[in-house]
Amino acid sequence: MKSSQRSKTTLSVVLGIICIIYVLPMVVVVLNSFKLNTYVKTDTFAIPTGEMWAGFSNFTKGMTFGNYPFAASAGYSVLITVVSTALILLFTSMAAWFIARVDDKVSRIVYYLCVFSMVVPFQMVMFTLSKTADTLKLNTPWTIPVVYLGFGAGLAIFMFVGFVKSIPLEIEEAAAIDGAGPVKTFFLVVLPMLKPTLISVGILEIMWVWNDYLLPYLVLDRTKYMTIPIHIQFLKGSYGTVDLGATMALILLSIIPVIVFYLLCQKHIIKGVAAGAVKG
């Protein structure tokens, strides 16, 4: 018994060391965002002391770096992520309820098309989708959520339909007998019951849209709008080689909200991600 206790402690220590190695890349980002640019390449792993110390100059420089304000990219990223996720949650949960309850030919076709869309890689539709979005003026941060709703509907519908089918019909029938119409039944009775799936789908969509690079890169009018991933890639292509320190400062700024979000709702995130593993 004692030896098993000791081996458990050893295991814990070994894992602890691996964990420290695991966070090192993040530590390197933090170190270099406070380091003067000339030292980032030569002394990547050094602690920025003395002459290497850049203070917050990398951050102030990074904000206006590349002739495009980083604050604008961050703002558009937030706008697109919030609106797209809200649209997807509202409309796909409504459609999923319709599909699961009405269950006629049309809803079955829609459902199977949605399942099918989950195995289609983005490259298959990227050229035609960006042209269609352009024609329909879906190329702004205010309208691109429609594209996200369309391309992202598959997984969300799939997850919601699965959950709605597990809800006993009696509850909705009782509401119908009490005189509630379908709209009232859905919003007051069904939607509250969908809460766990709403959280899982919401997490998956937030992570997808926030980190997505190629779709907004192709769909948005890039002369006017950027998101954080587009901004970072743009800097890497041009200014990033010029000023690595400032770019690292921007990377740090873009990671911090993600980490905070993760630490705040870790349980839900891990559950949501595991639920989405079906996508493949």
In the complex, minimum distance from the CB of residue 56 to another protein, in angstroms, rounded to a whole number: 19
Exactly one of 34, 37, 40, 80 binds another protein (CB under 8 A); that residue is 40
In the range 119-148, which residues lie near another protein by CB under 8 A?
119-121, 123-129, 131-133, 136, 138, 146-148
C-alpha 220/C-alpha 76 separation (Å) is: 11
In the range 245-274, which residues lie near another protein by CB under 8 A?
247-248, 251, 254-255, 258-259, 261-263, 266, 269-270, 273-274
Exactly one of 6, 55, 103, 178 binds another protein (CB under 8 A); that residue is 103
Dihedral Cα 111, 114, 116, 118, nearest 10 deg: -140
- Structure-token pair, residue 13: 């220590």
In the complex, minimum distance from the CB of residue 51 to another protein, in angstroms, rounded to a whole number: 18
In the range 167-226, which residues lie near another protein by CB under 8 A?
169-170, 172-173, 176-177, 181-183, 186, 207, 210-214
- Structure-token pair, residue 12: 């814990």
In the complex, minimum distance from the CB of residue 149 to another protein, in angstroms, rounded to a whole number: 4
C-alpha 81/C-alpha 167 separation (Å) is: 29
In the complex, minimum distance from the CB of residue 223 to another protein, in angstroms, rounded to a whole number: 16
Question: Could you give the count of Cα atoms lying within 13 Å of 146 in the half-sphere of its Cβ?
Answer: 14
Phi-psi sector, 189: left (phi>0), alpha (psi -120 to 50), beta: alpha
In the complex, minimum distance from the CB of residue 44 to another protein, in angstroms, rounded to a whole number: 3
User: Binding of another protein at residue 36 (CB under 8 A)?
Assistant: no
Q: Considering the complex, state which of residue 26 and residue 71 has its C-beta at the smaller distance from another protein.
A: 26
In the complex, minimum distance from the CB of residue 144 to another protein, in angstroms, rounded to a whole number: 10
Length of the chain: 280
In the range 61-80, which residues lie near another protein by CB under 8 A?
none
The candidate with the shortest Cα–Cα distance to 234, out of 256, 257, 213, is 213
Piece of 8-16, 47-55, 60-68, 192-200 that binds another protein (CB under 8 A)? 8-16
Helical H segments across 166-243, by residue range: 169-177, 182-184, 191-193, 195-211, 214-219, 228-237
Tell me the sheet residues that pair with 53: 35
Q: Considering the complex, state which of residue 46 and residue 71 has its C-beta at the smaller distance from another protein.
A: 46
